[in-house]
Structure 1
Amino acid sequence: MIEKLDFICPTIPEGGEFPLEHTGKGEDRSPEFYIKNLSPHAKTLAITLEDLTHPLKKEFTHWLIWNLPASSHIKAHFPPGFEVADPREARQGIAYGWHRYAGPKPPLGQNHKYRFTIYSLDCSLHLNFWTRKRQLLKAMEGHILQKGQLTASFGNKKIWNQDSRPMMA
């Protein structure tokens, strides 16, 4: 049985809005997380970020990272690359962001809902450079101890300036 993983993101509250720094319209930096009830049996953590309201693909994946050391704190601002320098064993897969975090970036005038999922695992995963969400989920089968989720929104509102040209708000 998979237990619930409780975690918070200091910059993105559950049900809230993404700040610009964590979006493709801003700095596109991954946020940090604090885990409240990590199992003592957890060896590694994995994170996915998905767009739940993408018009063409249900649960459109924005980010995959796995083999994070089991810890109550996950740092922010992971740099791009399949192999992550710190922590050295962590790997990022192929999603909207190829081997990198790619935050929300819906089209102008749309608001989308996104979900972070954090998994605690009883092992490290040996996955390759071409790993996508389907392969990650398959490799995690039977190894997930805990799972937690956080949902938030981000949108681009259209506003009009004095010259009647659309601008982003």
Structure 2
Amino acid sequence: MANASDEFRLASSGIDHEGRLPRKYTSEGQGAKSGISPPLEWYNVPNEAKTLALVVEDIDETEPNSSLVPWTLWVVISIPPNLKGLPEGFSGKEDKTGSDYAKIKEGNNDCKVPGWRCPTMPSAGHRFEFKLYALDDEIDLGNKVTKEKLLEAIDGHVLGEAVLVAIY
């Protein structure tokens, strides 16, 4: 049986001790402190992993007919498995050349734009699910990366999943 400290896991220093996502990471933050992607750290990536991919969804988003539909906030692919995390405000940073982050690609969210996009919440208490996939092979999704294309491409290539849920 694996020890919990050996488990592939995802964490964020930006989420408070009650598991809440602060306002600055949403569209309801103040000015420049609005819509910033939260910092993420991960631990115990499977040794065989060739790449990591991240999907963040509001799993309590509702459509007008009240059926629950996950709303995609962020899709990130081609994360080198040797990285230990993504810094706060990583999304949308243009100058990644020559760095460990150079290969990372941000896909389109459900607002049809690349990067972190947290919509204005119609009500409090929404759960945001951050899911990090460890993959046994590199994936190429072309120029337009979406959650749907990613999930289709990684079928059969997932070595592990690390999940973090925050409440807003």
The Cα of 1:7 is off from its aligned counterpart by: 2.0
Distance 2:105 2:152 in 1: 16
Work out whether residues 9 and 43 of structure 2, in 8 Å CA contact, stay in contact via their aligned partners in 1. yes
Report the counterpart of residue 90 of structure 2 in structure 1. Answer: 78
TM-score, length-scaled by structure 1: 0.78
Q: Deviations over 1:109-161 (max 9, x none)?
A: 4431110001111222111222211110011111111101111111xxxxxxx
Task: Give the partner amino acid of 2:71.
Answer: F
Task: Give the partner amino acid of 2:10.
Answer: F
Q: Tell me, what secondary structure is at the counterpart of 2:152?
A: helix
Work out whether residues 83 and 90 of structure 1, in 8 Å CA contact, stay in contact via their aligned partners in 2. no
Distance 1:146 1:34 in 2: 16
Identify the structure with the greater strand proportion.
1
Distance 1:13 1:126 in 2: 35
What stretches of structure 2 of length at least 5 have no aligned partner? 1-6
Work out whether residues 16 and 22 of structure 2, in 8 Å CA contact, stay in contact via their aligned partners in 1. no
Structural RMSD (CA): 2.4
| Count of aligned pairs between the two proteins | 150
Report the counterpart of residue 161 of structure 2 in structure 1. Answer: 147
The Cα of 1:96 is off from its aligned counterpart by: 3.1
Instruction: Percent identity, please.
Output: 25
Of 1, 5, 9, 1:6 maps to 9
**Stretches of 4+ aligned residues off by more than 6 angstroms:** none
Report the counterpart of residue 41 of structure 2 in structure 1. Answer: 34
1:67 equivalent in alignment to 2:70: no
Q: Tell me, what secondary structure is at the counterpart of 1:111?
A: coil
Structure with larger Rg: 1
Q: 1:95 to 1:84 in 2, by over 3 A?
A: farther
